[in-house]
């Protein structure tokens, strides 16, 4: 199996200003074609550091992908470092310059600055993959059977370069082992008890299969990964092991195919032709966003309401003023009335509601930060639950609560 090392270059990651999402994307795409990422280095944009890290990376892997450090500004030094590492020089590449000129002209920039022209300078030994969504080209260097790709750092530019150009190139170049993964989603069992339960099965796995535990909120994803030179044989091996695993934890499994809970929900809703709507307070749109992040969600998601102000809960979702006065706005009763109002407003089979305080800062009724009541309403039945997560940051809270609600809903739908 080919072995890749990713190098992320740029102070914006090290300083905490930007989350590195490129590595995640690239690792996933490489995994799909059977290339394993063995290390990721995140380093600053300094020539010596870049050169030293390339050297180190080639000790571990035969494929390096760098992102970042190729912009038109003064703080980008990657290209120079790469040329020096490969004992090469930088020179203007005509094809790249023409591509750049066209790219800029199409965007109405008729004057090419010296700074932009510099972007068409590449190491003379490099193969250029043109960037259709930005001004920095992608360069490939090859030496002694080892490959280095240097990409810009902007995720919108990285994704098409990897998907449309680099992955097809690598597929053709290498004769790769096939890799495949199965994910089993498990709820309602702590990780340690789960591990004890399935230990005999795990220890008996064939050599080419391996298991990982990925806890996400209150769910654990068991990921079984295998490699082999025959795709069909490998798929069958994975399926056989999954069939041995399932009886051991059958009451706790909520999905054996899709990975993300919102995709698991999508499968169930589509199959059963059910519709859904949301009425959110403290999750502020995150629940809607999570549901609509799935392509095709317009088939079952009719719409939602973010009723942040109490009076909007009353006016639009028809929550009774007396209910708010008697029980406060963060209460089981208000969550329930929101779900009912939402179901009527959107006329859906299922409605979900949240009311709580995401913090920091106290809620309008003085209840503590981190409390949320949520209602899951399916036809004329509903369940209201409470979560208390005072230690979560605001965005984590919105995310955790939304995850948990969809997970609970999936559990309810599976058991009915």
Does 323 bind a second copy (CB under 8 A)? Our answer is: no
Pick between residue 142 and residue 365 the one whose CB is nearest to a second copy.
Answer: 365
In the shown chain, the binding pattern of residues 225 to 264 toward a second copy, with x for contact by CB under 8 A and - for none, equals: x---------------------------------x-----
Pick between residue 3 and residue 124 the one whose CB is nearest to a second copy.
Answer: 3
Does 287 bind a second copy (CB under 8 A)? Our answer is: yes
The DSSP secondary-structure symbol of 164 reads I
Among 71, 137, 226, 370, binds a second copy (CB under 8 A): 71
Whole-number Å distance between alpha carbons of 256 and 157: 33
Pick between residue 126 and residue 278 the one whose CB is nearest to a second copy.
Answer: 278
- Least Cβ distance, residue 385 to a second copy (angstroms): 16
* First-to-last C-alpha distance (Å) of the chain: 44
Nearest to 406 by CA among 331, 301, 332, 313: 301
- Least Cβ distance, residue 82 to a second copy (angstroms): 18
Whole-number Å distance between alpha carbons of 4 and 40: 9
The DSSP secondary-structure symbol of 318 reads -
Side-chain half-sphere of 76: how many Cα atoms within 13 Å? 18
Stretch that binds a second copy, among 88-96, 190-198, 265-273, 336-344 (CB under 8 A): 190-198
Element (H, E) at 168: helix 167-173
Pick between residue 47 and residue 392 the one whose CB is nearest to a second copy.
Answer: 392
Nearest to 45 by CA among 97, 1, 9: 9
Does 296 bind a second copy (CB under 8 A)? Our answer is: yes
Tokens of 163: 């998907």
- Least Cβ distance, residue 57 to a second copy (angstroms): 11
Backbone phi, psi, residue 55, to 5°: -60, -50
Does 196 bind a second copy (CB under 8 A)? Our answer is: yes
Whole-number Å distance between alpha carbons of 356 and 373: 6
Stretch that binds a second copy, among 89-97, 150-158, 319-327, 404-412 (CB under 8 A): 150-158
Stretch that binds a second copy, among 81-89, 250-258, 263-271, 278-286 (CB under 8 A): 278-286
Residue 89's SS3 state is coil
Does 301 bind a second copy (CB under 8 A)? Our answer is: yes
Whole-number Å distance between alpha carbons of 260 and 308: 27
- Least Cβ distance, residue 95 to a second copy (angstroms): 20
Among 75, 89, 142, 229, binds a second copy (CB under 8 A): 75
Does 345 bind a second copy (CB under 8 A)? Our answer is: yes
Whole-number Å distance between alpha carbons of 286 and 398: 6
What part of residues 204-223 is at the interface with a second copy (CB under 8 A)?
Answer: 211-215, 221, 223
Among 102, 143, 257, 298, binds a second copy (CB under 8 A): 298
What part of residues 349-368 is at the interface with a second copy (CB under 8 A)?
Answer: 358-361, 364
In the shown chain, the binding pattern of residues 88 to 107 toward a second copy, with x for contact by CB under 8 A and - for none, equals: --------------------
CB 136 within 8 A of CB 119: yes
Nearest to 371 by CA among 335, 413, 326, 416: 335
CB 54 within 8 A of CB 82: yes
């Amino acid at each position: 199996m080919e072995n890749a090392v990713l190098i992320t270059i740029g102070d914006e990651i090290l300083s905490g200003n930007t989350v590195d999402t490129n590595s995640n994307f690239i690792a996933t795409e490489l995994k799909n074609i059977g290339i394993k990422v063995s290390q990721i280095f995140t380093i600053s944009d300094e020539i010596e550091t870049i050169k030293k890290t390339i050297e180190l990376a080639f000790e571990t892997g035969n494929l390096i992908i760098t992102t970042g450090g190729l912009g038109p500004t003064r703080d980008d030094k990657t290209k120079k470092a790469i040329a020096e590492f490969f004992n090469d020089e930088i020179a203007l590449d005509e094809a790249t310059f023409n591509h750049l000129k066209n790219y800029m002209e199409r965007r109405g920039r008729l004057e090419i600055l010296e700074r932009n022209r510099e972007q068409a300078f590449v190491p003379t030994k490099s193969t250029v993959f043109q960037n259709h969504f930005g001004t920095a080209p992608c360069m490939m260097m090859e030496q002694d059977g080892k490959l280095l790709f240097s990409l810009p750092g902007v995720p919108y530019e990285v994704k098409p370069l990897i998907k449309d150009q680099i992955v097809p190139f690598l597929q053709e170049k290498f004769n790769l082992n096939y890799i495949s993964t199965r994910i089993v989603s498990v709820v309602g069992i702590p990780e340690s008890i789960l591990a004890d339960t399935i230990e005999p099965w795990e220890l008996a796995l064939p050599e080419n299969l391996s298991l990982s535990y990925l806890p996400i909120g209150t769910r654990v994803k068991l990921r079984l990964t295998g490699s082999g030179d025959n795709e069909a044989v490998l798929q069958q091996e994975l399926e056989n092991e999954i069939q041995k695993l399932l009886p051991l934890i059958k009451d706790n499994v909520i999905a054996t195919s899709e990975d993300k809970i919102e995709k698991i929900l999508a499968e169930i809703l589509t199959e059963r032709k059910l519709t859904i709507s949301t009425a959110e307070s403290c999750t502020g749109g995150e629940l809607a966003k999570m549901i609509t992040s799935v392509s095709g969600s317009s088939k079952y998601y009719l719409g939602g309401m973010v009723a942040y102000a109490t009076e909007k809960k009353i006016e639009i979702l028809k929550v009774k003023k007396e209910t708010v006065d008697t029980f406060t706005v963060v209460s089981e009763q208000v969550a329930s009335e929101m779900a009912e109002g939402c179901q009527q407003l959107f006329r859906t089979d299922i409605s979900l509601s949240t009311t709580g305080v995401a913090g920091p800062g106290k809620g309008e009724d003085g209840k503590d930060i981190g409390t949320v009541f949520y209602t899951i309403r399916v036809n004329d039945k509903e369940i209201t639950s409470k979560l208390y997560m005072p230690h979560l940051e605001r965005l984590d809270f919105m995310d955790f609560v939304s995850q948990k609600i969809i997970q609970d809903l999936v559990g309810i739908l599976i058991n009915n």
